[in-house]
Amino acid sequence: MNWGVLLLPGSNCAEDCFHAVDQVLGQPVRYLWHKDTDLGDVDAIIIPGGFSYGDHLRPGAIAHLSPAMTSVKAFAEKGGLVIGICNGFQILTESRMLPGALLQNKGLKFLCQDQTLRVENNSTAFTSEYEAGDVIICPIAHNEGNYYAKAETIEEMEANGQVLFRYSSPDGEVSDATNPNGSINNIAGIINRNGNVVGMMPHPERSADSVLGLSAGKGVFVSMLKHLEAVNS
Amino acid sequence: MTEKKAGMEEKLWRKAGLTDSEYALLTKHMGREPNVVELALYAQMWSEHCGYTHTRPLFKHFPTTGPRIVQGPGENAGIVDIDDDEVLTFKLESHNHPSAIAPFQGAATGVGGIIRDILAMGAYPIASLNSLHFGHPGDRGHTRWLISEVVHGIGEYGNCVGVPTVGGELRFADAYKGNPLVNAMCVGYMKKSEIKKAIATGVGNSLMIVGNLTGRDGMGGASFASKDLEEENDDDRGAIQVGDPFMEKLLIEACLEVFQEDYVVGVQDMGAAGILSSSVETASKAGNGVEIDVALVPKREEAMRPEEVMISESQERMLLIVKKGMEEKVNKIFHKWDLHAVVIGHVTDDGMYRVLEDGKTVGEVPVWSLMDAPTYELVGEAPAHLQRTQSFKNSDVDVPDDLNQVLIKLLGSPDICSKEWVYRQYDHRVQMNTVVKPGSDASILRIKGRDKGVGVTMDSNGRYCYLNPRTGSQSVVVEAARNLVVSGAEPIAITDGLNFGNPETPDVYYQLEQAIMGLSEACRALNTPVIGGNASLYNQTPEFGAIYPTPIVGMVGLVKSLDHTTTMEFKAEGDHIILLGTTREELGASEYLDQIHGMVMGDVPELDLEEEAQTQAFILKAIRAGLLSSAHDLGDGGLAVAIAESCIKGELGAHIELDANIRADALLFGESQSRFLLSVTPDKADQLMDMAAEMGVEAATIGKVSTDKKLSIKNNETQLIDRDLALCADAFNTGFDKMMKTDG
Amino acid sequence: MLRAIVTVMLKKGIFDPQGRAVHNGLESIGFEGVKQVRVGKQLEIDLNLTDRAEAKKMVDEMCDKMLANPVVESFSYEITEV
Amino acid sequence: MLRAIVTVMLKKGIFDPQGRAVHNGLESIGFEGVKQVRVGKQLEIDLNLTDRAEAKKMVDEMCDKMLANPVVESFSYEITEV
Ligand SMILES: Nc1ncnc2c1ncn2[C@@H]1O[C@H](COP(=O)(O)OP(=O)(O)O)[C@@H](O)[C@H]1O
Ligand SMILES: [Mg+2]
């Protein structure tokens, strides 16, 4: 399977995502340059974290207008797998490929810490490696991770099982006390109606390489790979 | 030559910060009087900041060579060998004055500046650290604002540029009330073959400026940084630069891409005195001259005077010395990253530094003379306070009745409490190399594709150096080394930051001289040469006086195998707890004396550098033999605090039984040097104790790790400490937040 | 030349933590009688245009495409001569 | 009730990276004729006051003490009735 990592100016985590696919997953991967509209033959696209365009104006505000994003949209419309991590999630909401928006953390500070997440829905192309209710550690590192959407939208997403991950305690409890940034319903990651576009604030790539002491995030990439292999076989 | 007369009758040079004798000297060098442009060149290059006028003569004491030293002081940053044809480059830099008046921007641009030093060596920046000193935050809202802004500025820059901020230190004393210290350090990685130098070789080669536009930012920052920080000086306030980490990220990508090709012969970042100092330094190293036309420099502002362009400190700019004919190729790569690369001049063979404006010469002086800043060797005099402070005797203070209370207070005190409030605002994981995160003694980064890693730490102790500049400075070096060694890293080299008051006063000069001697002695004893550093003098204000003499040490070590890293927290019930070293009845200079008795008094603890080196060698050997469950050095707050820290981080209790014959407060909280706290599984305990005996290191089993979540310390059957771990943890973990919320 | 002064604020009803922080900050240093604080962005955009109608059209489009996120923000602007 | 609308901008001559990024962003999606962009903050402060002079004095003090850092920022404000 061919993986693509979108390279936008200021995408600091592009190398990290590349490393996760290349070294941890052992799959072919290349960078997709933001000025190119031709994505070539990729099967899955990662929009990495970082500070595209310096996060000026709003995170993702300038990046989602880049030429490559037009092609990413078209790719997703045809059913291609797209995952936006951290800044990538922000870019996906800015481009309306995912509902809602990411506001500044309630505590007004950048937060870099290990974070426990509860897996809400494991019947997706991105989460099949987990059991529903699993608690995984996935680091967060963001200043604008406070997920917001209108009440109707939230209700609809909840009803459709579009919430993939919630910020929880190590025992899987979800409460205000386990909410690091003020997200509605402790939402940490969501999927679109079609089930092929995911956005999440936590960094699965940072908990993929076991040398760094964490490995639960690898499941996201393995799930994607298994899904691709199944549909392509 | 231009006919403009400089009006030197008005003693313009004094305004520019030059003394009468310096003016006479430069006139002699030039063979005539300078014009305004030329005067500005000298004023900048001969400032303390660029010319190291007071510190350069003292640098000769530093050991600077060793088997792993590839590059000592003299380049943008030093380089050390970490085997496999791989090297690290690192350096620290102060940004004290800008941070005092615009803390967010001052701190942010400090981070950006040191990253460019590393980039200029050809390396990829892999880690940032910072050492911060403030007044006590409980005292003033202003101090809390400074802390918030500085931390925010460091975080925002580092996070955005994508270099993990993996460690540092944060210390408090009233001496920093008027003059906070912000020192930033950066570590870079590269292959040996990728090393770049700051040199302008090849007559006819082009000088290209890359990165940001040039504006009137930081006008005269170099000489500004060398003046006392006076209050309400509006001119100085105009000097604030704004950082753009996004631009810096692009600059890193573009530069490293250009370096892959054979286009560039030299690189220099633009720091203090911008285009001027970067080009002078590169030319001087090659023995060449340069010619720069200010009209060619891409500018952000209109009607800039030639000297303004030359000394502007606009951020995120670099100077490349590009092979003749390769300019377009370089520009193409920068263009890809939406940056420009513009030819502003070229290398000449006449040894002159020539400034042009639209092709017309507006200033011309010999390159060597700009680099030849006069130096000053003054006669120091021991500060008067030493007689008073060293007269302290332990009997001047009573042993407190409630030692539990003392422990809790110390755990929550500013210097000791957890700094998570700070480092959770820093992305310490980006780049995916951080094996040991901040919160331990040193942070460890892996080298991708290898089994080895790198340990990094930054340390200082202003109070120690105030009470004994020589031994105090030695202690700073050995403490940095301890932090590395307990993490499993073998110390390689240091970069030093000399933060002092006005060196023209004899007592400050004494402190400076003694500190440099002390650093040098300790570096020799530990085989950790000095490969670079920075001096920030004149850190004083009329209202609050001079800061503590504060040499800061940034140290880097090699972890030969990641299997051999160790952390400070206790790991398992039943593990034996072992104390290395000798506990003497030493209360002087301690955190305990300061926090509990409100006294900055006494002499620093005795330090035997040979014993220290031997103990450190033993710990490394034990870690590499896989014997240790945990290792932690004893520092601020002594034995009791170290035990509590290992318990809190490991969420395990400890039962300790001692048999000492000294005062209880000295036993628990004294800061005798060369001591470490280890834990070991029972089956390996004998082997460890044998190894200690063989190497002549004093080691005593003092207790066991327990699961009852209690911290208990007895001495000769007397219960000294008996506390629930939860109470200790709460004090330690919430100390910082509480401090930042105090009203005042 | 025309200058557009664009104000982008969080929509009413969306919690504004920054406004709250400033509010608290003001109270903590002794300012009483502050009822509410909201914090937004202001952009000054200088345009090489002389025709106001044209400028208006352009700025509307800028806001829609990039300057404001309609999910959470509202914008308003004024055009002045400079 | 009175509302103070406070604008805090970087001082003229101080580099505004945010403004530059927005400027470049606008150009990259095809907006031509933009000469300069500067980005600042706007604060809406609702005050339980009726006296304008009193409000003015208060807001001046707020800006000096907290809302703007005079080293890098300048402020201006308007007071309106709401
Ligand atoms: N300013 C800072 N930036 C980043 N990390 C910091 C900072 N201050 C302290 N830390 C981290 O907090 C931990 C404790 O620091 P410190 O008390 O100085 O440790 P030690 O006494 O072992 O040197 C270290 O891991 C250090 O890296
Ligand atoms: Mg330590």
B272-302 pLDDT, tens digit per residue, is 889 999 999 999 999 999 999 999 999 998 8
pLDDT digits (tens, 9 = 90+) for B200-239: 999 999 999 999 999 988 775 444 444 444 433 444 434 5
Tell me which chain B residue has its CA closest to the CA of residue D28: B338
**Of A148-157, B153-162, B372-381, B628-637, minimum mean pLDDT range:** B372-381
What residues of B act catalytically?
49, 95
B148 CB burial (10 A radius; 0-12, 13-18, 19+)? middle
Q: Which residues pair with B170 in a beta bridge?
A: B132
Residues A192, A117: contact at Cβ < 8 Å? no
The SS3 call for residue B577 is strand
Instruction: State how far the alpha carbon of A95 is from the alpha carbons of A89, B286, B424, B737, in Å.
Output: 10, 53, 29, 38
To which H or E segment does residue B126 belong? strand B124-134
Q: Is the dihedral of CA B590, B594, B596, B599 positive or negative?
A: positive
- E strand spans, B537-648: 540-541, 545-546, 550-559, 576-580, 630-633
Q: Which residues from B are below 8 Å from A61, CB to CB?
A: none
Q: Which residues from D are below 8 Å from C62, CB to CB?
A: 26, 31
Answer yes or no: is the C-beta of B513 below 6 A from any ligand 1 atom: no
Mean pLDDT taken over chain B: 93
Is residue B335 within 8 angstroms of chain D, CB to CB?
no
Longest dimension (CA), chain C: 48
pLDDT above 90 covers what percent of chain B? 89
Nearest-atom index, ligand 1, CA of B635: 21
Which of B246, B423, B432 faces A54 most closely, judged by CB atoms? B246
Residues B465, B62: contact at Cβ < 8 Å? no
Instruction: State how far the alpha carbon of B117 is from the alpha carbons of B107, B267, B416, in Å.
Output: 16, 10, 32
Class of domain A3-232: alpha beta
Average pLDDT over residues A161-173: 98
Q: Is the dihedral of CA B9, B14, B19, B23 positive or negative?
A: negative
Residue B407: name the closest of B733, B709, B727 by CA. B727
**CA distance to partner chain D, nearest, from residue A77 (Å):** 22
pLDDT at B272: 86
Give percent helix, percent strand, percent coil of chain D, each to the nearest 5.
35, 40, 25
The SS3 call for residue A137 is strand
Longest dimension (CA), chain B: 89
pLDDT above 70 covers what percent of chain B? 95
Q: Which residues in B414-448 are b (16+ Cβ under 10 Å) and which e? A: bbbbbbebbbbbbbbbbbbbbbbbbbbbbbbbbbe
DSSP-assigned letter for residue C65: I
Residue B646: name the closest of B716, B578, B561, B593 by CA. B578
The single-letter code of the amino acid at D7 is T
pLDDT band at B364 (very low <50, low <70, confident <90, very high): very high
Ligand nearest to the CA of B439: 1
pLDDT at B302: 87
Average pLDDT over residues A151-180: 97
Q: Could you tell me which residue, B485 or C29, shows the higher pLDDT? A: B485
B464 CB burial (10 A radius; 0-12, 13-18, 19+)? buried
Instruction: State how far the alpha carbon of B114 is from the alpha carbons of B94, B108, B134, B269, B311, in Å.
Output: 9, 10, 21, 9, 18
pLDDT at residue B326 tops 60:
yes
pLDDT at B236: 41
pLDDT band at B139 (very low <50, low <70, confident <90, very high): low
- For atom 14 of ligand 1, the residue with the nearest CA is B439
Q: Does domain D2-81 have CATH number 3.30.1280.10?
A: yes
Q: Rounded to whole angstroms, how far apart are CA atoms B725 and B49?
A: 48
Cα of B147 from ligand 1 centre, angstroms: 15
pLDDT at B666: 98
Q: Rounded to whole angstroms, how far apart are CA atoms B272 and B278?
A: 9
pLDDT at residue B371 tops 90:
yes
pLDDT at residue B391 tops 70:
yes
Answer yes or no: is the C-beta of B183 below 6 A from any ligand 1 atom: no
**CA distance to partner chain D, nearest, from residue B240 (Å):** 7
Angle between the N-to-C axes of helices B609-624 and B682-694, in degrees from 0 to 180, rounded to the nearest 10: 140
Residues B81, B190: contact at Cβ < 8 Å? no
pLDDT at residue C27 tops 60:
yes
Residues B736, B653: contact at Cβ < 8 Å? no
pLDDT at B249: 97
Q: Could you tell me which residue, B744 or B137, shows the higher pLDDT? A: B137
Count CA atoms within 13 Å of residue D43 on its CB side: 28
pLDDT at B742: 61
CB proximity under 8 Å: D 10-29 to B: 10, 13-17, 20-21, 24
pLDDT digits (tens, 9 = 90+) for B409-429: 999 999 999 999 999 999 999
- Give me the residue spans of the domains in chain D: 2-81
Q: Which residues pair with A137 in a beta bridge?
A: A116
Residues B54, B537: contact at Cβ < 8 Å? yes
Mean pLDDT taken over chain D: 93
The SS3 call for residue B418 is coil
To which H or E segment does residue A191 belong? strand A187-191
Q: What is the set of domains in chain B, with CATH numbers?
A: 64-354 (3.30.1330.10), 397-493+506-523+550-740 (3.90.650.10)
Average pLDDT over residues B336-345: 96
Residues B492, B557: contact at Cβ < 8 Å? yes
pLDDT digits (tens, 9 = 90+) for A190-199: 999 999 999 9
Cα of B206 from ligand 1 centre, angstroms: 44
Q: What is the ipTM of this complex?
A: 0.93
Contact A106 C17 (CB under 8 A): yes
To which H or E segment does residue A41 belong? none
Average pLDDT over residues A162-180: 98
To which H or E segment does residue A173 belong? none
Q: Rounded to whole angstroms, how far apart are CA atoms B64 and B494?
A: 10
Q: Rounded to whole angstroms, how far apart are CA atoms B205 and B292?
A: 12
pLDDT at B230: 42
pLDDT at D21: 94
pLDDT at residue B338 tops 90:
yes
To which H or E segment does residue C48 belong? none
pLDDT band at B48 (very low <50, low <70, confident <90, very high): confident
Q: Rounded to whole angstroms, how far apart are CA atoms B520 and B530?
A: 8
Q: Rounded to whole angstroms, how far apart are CA atoms B265 and B196?
A: 8
To which H or E segment does residue A190 belong? strand A187-191
pLDDT digits (tens, 9 = 90+) for B576-634: 999 999 999 999 999 999 999 999 999 999 999 999 999 999 999 999 999 999 999 99
Q: Rounded to whole angstroms, how far apart are CA atoms B16 and A5?
A: 52
pLDDT digits (tens, 9 = 90+) for B6-17: 456 668 888 888
Average pLDDT over residues B713-734: 97
Q: Which residues in A120-137 are b (16+ Cβ under 10 Å) and which e? A: bbbebbbbbbbeeebbbb
Q: Could you tell me which residue, D25 or B11, shows the higher pLDDT? A: D25
Q: Cα torsion at D59, D63, D67, D73 (round to 10°)? A: 140
Contact B156 A209 (CB under 8 A): no
Alpha helices in A95-163 (DSSP H): 151-159
Nearest-atom index, ligand 1, CA of B416: 17
Average pLDDT over residues A39-63: 96
pTM (2 d.p.): 0.94
DSSP-assigned letter for residue B374: -
Which residues fall within 8 angstroms of residue A130, CB to CB, at 6 or more apart? Answer: A119, A122, A136, A219, A223
**CA distance to partner chain A, nearest, from residue C25 (Å):** 13
pLDDT digits (tens, 9 = 90+) for B644-666: 999 999 999 999 999 999 999 99
pLDDT at B421: 96
CB neighbourhood size of B398 (10 A)? 9
**Between vectors from CA B152 to CA A114 and to CA B210, what angle results, nearest 5°?**
105
